[in-house]
A and B are shown apart, each in its own frame.
Chain A
Amino acid sequence: MLLRKLLRTAWSYKAQFISMILMITLGVGVFLGFNMEWRTIEVDTAKFFEETNYADFRLYDKEGFTADDLAAVLAVGGVDAATRFLSVNLDVKGENKRALALDVSENFTVSTFTVTEGSAYDENGEGFWLSDKYAAANGISVGDPLTVVFQGTEVTGPVVGLCKAGEHMICVADANQVMPDYRTFGFVYMSTKKLSETVRGKLVLSAAEELKQAGVPEEMLDEAVDGMLTDETLREAQRSVFVQIHVRSGLGKAELEDAVKDALGRAVMVTSKDEHVVYKEAMGEAKEGKAMGSILPVLFLAIAVLTMVTTMHRIAAKEKIQIGTLKALGFKNRRILTHYSSYGLFIGIVGTALGAALGVYVCKLVMSEDGMMGTYFDMPDWSAAAPGFCLPVMIGVVVLLTAISFFSVREQLKGTAADALRPYVPKRMKRTVWERVRGWDRLPFGTKWNLRDLSRHKSRSAMTLIGIVGCMVLLVGGLGMRDTMAGFLDLLDHDISRFTTKITLAEGCGREEAEAFAASLGGDWESMTGISFGGDTVVLDIVHNPNGFYNVIDEENRPITLEDDGVYLCLRLKDRAKIGETVSFSPYGTDETYRAKVIGYNRSVMTESITVTDALADRLGIDYTLTAIYTDETSDEIPPSPLVAGKQDQAQLMETFTSFVAIMDGMVLILVIAAVVLGIVVLYNLGVMSYVERSRELATLKVLGFRSRKIGSLLISQNVWLTVLGVAIGLPAGVGVLEWLLAALAGEYEMKLMLGPLTYGVSVLLTFGVSLFVGLAVAKKNKKIDMVEALKIADS
C-alpha cells in the first residue's frame, strides 16, 4: 500500500522528482564519464603496451650497439628482455607528402606489434607489416607492393600484414605534431633478415661504386665486392643502424643507467618510457582527463546533492500533514521513516543507474574507436574502465540521498502525533539586513517582496545562485578552453611557424652535410636533443634562424632575436633560474656538463626546453647534429636527398590539428550542453518550488487585482537578480577554474589563458537565456493559478 503511495506521491511531485533524478543522473553521469575517460586511457593503453611489449627503457648510442652490447645488457640483473632496435623516419617512394617510421625489433621480444590482418611476424619475412590505419587512409591492402627509401637505398617488398604497435600508439612524426594524420604519416615494420639484406645491399652498392672508381673492371666487380664484405664489415654496418636497445625491466632509471654503464664499459643515454613521446602523451592525456575529471564533475555532483537537500526538505515539509496522519493512524515512526526514506532511495537508485549509463555513454563518446580519441590512439581494444573510487561514490550518493530523506522526515516527526498533524510553519519573517539600508522604505513593493523572500528562503536562494554560478563556470571554462586552444594553434601557425616546409632530417646525418643542405634551401634549422637539467629530462633546442622561418617568441608572442651570450629558458622552466644566473645541463649519453648564463625566457609551447644559438652551442663545445630544416621552398621543390627522413608542409602540419580541435570541440560541446541542462534543471526545480511555496501569495496578489504579467515580472525579477549575482561570481570563478586546468596541463603544453569577447558574451547570454527561459516557464504557470483553490488553504 505504501509503495502505491510512494508512486503516487512521486507523480504528484513529478517536477521535483524528475528534476532530482535528472540532477543525480547528470551529476553521476558527468562524474563517472569524465573519470572513466582517463581510467580507460590508463587501462587500455597499459593493456596494449603489455601486448606489444612496449619498452620500459630505451638506450641510445649514436655509434650504435653491437650484438655483444645487447648480450651484455641482457645479462644485467633485472633486465627481463632486450632487443636492438631501429626506428627511423623515411620517405615513401613516389609519395612526396607521405612518410613512414621504419621499425625493426631485432629479436622481436620488445617493442613488437599485433597483426590485425595478414601474416604474423616472421623474422625471415620478405615483406612489410604496415600500420593498418595508414593503409586504410591511403588505400593500401595486404599484397600491395611498397617501396621505402632507407638511407638512400630503395627497399621494396609486399605488404604482408597490417598491424598496430605500442611504439606508435600515438603515431606522430615528432613531438611537434599534436595529432596523427594517417594520410601523411604512419609506420612500418620489417624483419631482421630484410634489414640485414638491405644493409648488405647498401654496402654492396657503395663498395661497387668505390671499386668502379678505383678502376676495377665490371666483370670482376662481384668477386671484388665479396672480398671486401667481410662478416666484420657487415656487423659494423648493422651496429651503425641499431642506435637503440629497447629494454623491458622493472629497474629504476638510475639503477639501470649504472648497471648498463658497468656492463658496456661506456655511458649511453638511457630514457625511461615516461620520456618517450607515446607513453608521455598517453599519460599526459590521462592526467588531463584526471584534471578535467576532478573539479567539474565534483561541482556537478555537489550541486545535484545540494539540490536534493533543499528539495527533499521542502517535500517533507509539504507532506507534514500526511506524515502526521500516518502517525495518528498508528504507524510507528520507524515505518514512516522507512517509507519516506525510500523516496531518497528511489531517486538515488534510479538517478545513479541512469547516471551510470550516461557515464558509460560519455566515456564511449570520448574513448572508442569511433569516438573523439579514435584518431589520437591507435590500439585494438577499447574498453570502459572506472577508477576504484567511482563505485563507493555512487553508493555514497544513494546512501546520502536516503539519509537526506530520513533526516528531513525525522524533523517533521518530532513530538506527538498532534504536533505532527499541525501544518508545517515556515520560519517567522524577521527584519532583514536590507531594511537597515537608507532608502529601503522608498523601494517598490516588488523589490522589498523579493529581497525578503530571498532572505527568508536562504537555502533555496543559495542553491539557485550555486546553479547559476555552476552554469557560468562550465560555460566560461568550456568556451574559454576552446579560445585558449585556438590561440595556441594560432600561435603555432602564425607566430612560430613562418616556413612553407619542415624537413625532418635522417638520424645520424652529418652536421656539415645537413648545414650545407639547409643553406642550399635558404632555410633555418634546429637541433633538438634530450638533456638532463636539474634531474629532469628537457630538450636542448639549438636554433639557427637568420631567415625567420622558425621563430622563438617571448611571453608577448613577439619573435626574439636570439643572442649568443646565453641561454633562454622556456616559461615552464622560469622558476628554475633568474636572468643573469648560471644554469648547467648535460646531454644524455655523455659525461659532459655545460654551463651558461640565462639571458631570457621564451614560450616553448610543445616541449620543455632550453634554447641556444648554434654559435653559443659551438662555443660551449656541444656535439650535435641537425634534426630539422625550415624552408620557404615547397616540398616539390626540395631535391631528393638521403638526409631527408620526411617533409611536412605547414598547411599539412596545421591540418593535423583539425582532429585535435574536433576533440576539444566535442568536449566543449559536452560541457556547454551539461551547463545548460544543469542550469535549466536546477533553476526549474527551485523555480517551481519557489512558485509552489509562494502560490498562496501570488493568488492573493491576483485576487487583489494584480495582472498576471505584473506577477510574472515579480517572479522573473528575482531570477534576474540572482542571475546577475551568479554571473558576477561565475565569471571570475570560471576564469579561475580554467587557469587551474591550464596549470594542470602545463606538463604537456604551455598554453596561455585566452578568453575572447565572444566567450564572455555567449557565456553571459546563455546563462541569462537559461535563467530567463526558466523564469518565463515558471511565470507562465502563474496564469493558470487557481485563485479560489489557493486561498482555501489556511495560512501557514
Chain B
Amino acid sequence: MPIVEFDQVSRIYRSGEHELRALDRVSFTLDEGKFVVILGPSGAGKSTLLNLLGGLDSPSEGKITVAGRDISTLNDNELADYRAATVGFVFQFYNLIPTLTVYENVSLVSEIAPRALDAREMIAKVGLEDHMHNFPAELSGGEQQRLSIARALAKNPKILLCDEPTGALDSETGVMVLKLLLGMAKEAGKTVVIVTHNQNISKMADTVIRVKNGKIRSVEEQANPLSANEVDW
C-alpha cells in the first residue's frame, strides 16, 4: 500500500511570458517504511519535488496523495496542519530556532503536532541528553543536525523529509546522521525521503528515484542496500 502517490504532477513557474517547468508530469509511488533517495544534479527538480511532498508548495497540475489524503488542493491552514501531523523535515542547514535551547527546540512541536512524542526521549534517542539546556550555537554541526532530526521525530510523523541532510557535515558525522535516519525507516517504520546529489548515499536506499530536467528518469528498487558504514564517502 503506497503512502505517497504522485500522479502527473507538474510545478510550473511563470514570469511574464516565460514559463519554467520545474517538474513536468511526474508520477511515482512510495511505500511505507522505505528509505528513499531522490537523486539528481542541481536544478533537476528534486527539491521542488520534496517541497511539494512536504506541503511547502502546491502543484500547478496533477494530484499528490499522502496517506490516502489529496494534499494538492489544501489551503494554507490545511497545509500547515498537514505539515504538523504528517511530515517531519531535516534540512541541510538545520534550521533550528537559535533563541531556544535543545529541549525547547524539540518540545516546541508539542504545541502543534497532535501525536507529539516526549521531547526528552527524542533527544536521548539522538544522543543529546547531555546538551538539553544548550543553545544550538553551542553545538557542533553534527549535533545540530541530530537535534533537527530529534525535532522532526518528536512530531511522530509518517514521513521524514531530508534535504541534503549531510551536505554541511564531515564524513564521520554524516555517517552518524545517515545511520540515525536509516534506523528511523527500519526500526520505527517511518518513510524516509532523502534528497541529495551524492550518488553514494543512494546505495543505502530501498528505492532510488533519479530526476533530471524536471522529469523522473528512473525509479529503481534495490534489493540489498548497503549500510551507512559501507558507503564510500
Contacts and interface: CB of A to CB of B under 8 A. Distances in A.
Interface string B100-114: 100010011101110
B136 to A, nearest CB: 8
Given A703-B89, A788-B57, A795-B96, A448 B104 contact: yes
B128 to A, nearest CB: 17
Contact of B98 (A697, A707, A708, A788): A697
B89 A448 contact: no
A794 interface: yes
A785 to B, nearest CB: 11
Interface residues of B, number: 38
Contacts of A706: 80, 84, 111-112
Contacts of B168: 794
Nearest 3 pairs of A and B residues by beta carbon: A705-B84, A452-B99, A705-B83
B80 A449 contact: no
Interface in A709-764: 710
Interface centre among B57, B85, B98 (most CB of A within 10 A): B98
A482 interface: no
A230 to B, nearest CB: 102
Interface in B50-97: 51, 54, 56-57, 76-77, 80-85, 89, 91, 93-97
Contacts of B99: 429, 448-449, 452-453, 456, 697
Contacts of A794: 93, 168
Contacts of B89: 703-704
A783 interface: yes
Nearest to A429: B135
B54 A703 contact: yes
B98 A705 contact: no
B231 interface: no
**Prevailing SS type, chain A contact patch:** helix
A624 to B, nearest CB: 77
B80 A708 contact: yes
Given A453-B99, A788-B56, A795-B95, A445 B80 contact: no
Nearest to A455: B99
Interface string A49-81: 000000000000000000000000000000000
A436 interface: no
A430 B95 CA distance: 19
Given A428-B138, A791-B95, 19 more contacts: A426-B98, A428-B137, A445-B100, A445-B104, A445-B108, A445-B111, A449-B100, A456-B99, A700-B95, A704-B89, A705-B81, A705-B109, A706-B80, A706-B84, A706-B112, A708-B77, A710-B112, A787-B51, A791-B91
A452 B100 contact: yes
B47 interface: yes
A70 B93 CA distance: 96
Nearest to B107: A445
Interface of A: 426, 428-430, 444-445, 448-449, 452-453, 456, 696-697, 699-708, 710, 783, 787-788, 791, 793-795
A428 B101 CA distance: 12
A428 B96 CA distance: 14
8 contacts: A429-B99, A445-B104, A448-B100, A700-B95, A704-B83, A706-B111, A783-B76, A795-B98
Contacts of B57: 788
Nearest to B138: A428
A705 B113 contact: yes
A519 B80 CA distance: 88
Contact of B94 (A430, A445, A699, A795): A795
Contacts of A426: 98
A697 B56 contact: no
Interface string B106-140: 01110111000000000000000000000111100
A793 B93 contact: yes
Nearest to B113: A705
